[in-house]
Chain A
Amino acid sequence: AQSVTQLDSHVSVSEGTPVLLRCNYSSSYSPSLFWYVQHPNKGLQLLLKYTSAATLVKGINGFEAEFKKSETSFHLTKPSAHMSDAAEYFCVVQLSGTYKYIFGTGTRLKVLA
Chain B
Amino acid sequence: AQKVTQAQTEISVVEKEDVTLDCVYETRDTTYYLFWYKQPPSGELVFLIRRNSFDEQNEISGRYSWNFQKSTSSFNFTITASQVVDSAVYFCALSETLSAGNNRKLIWGLGTSLAVNP
Asked if A and B are interacting partners, one says no
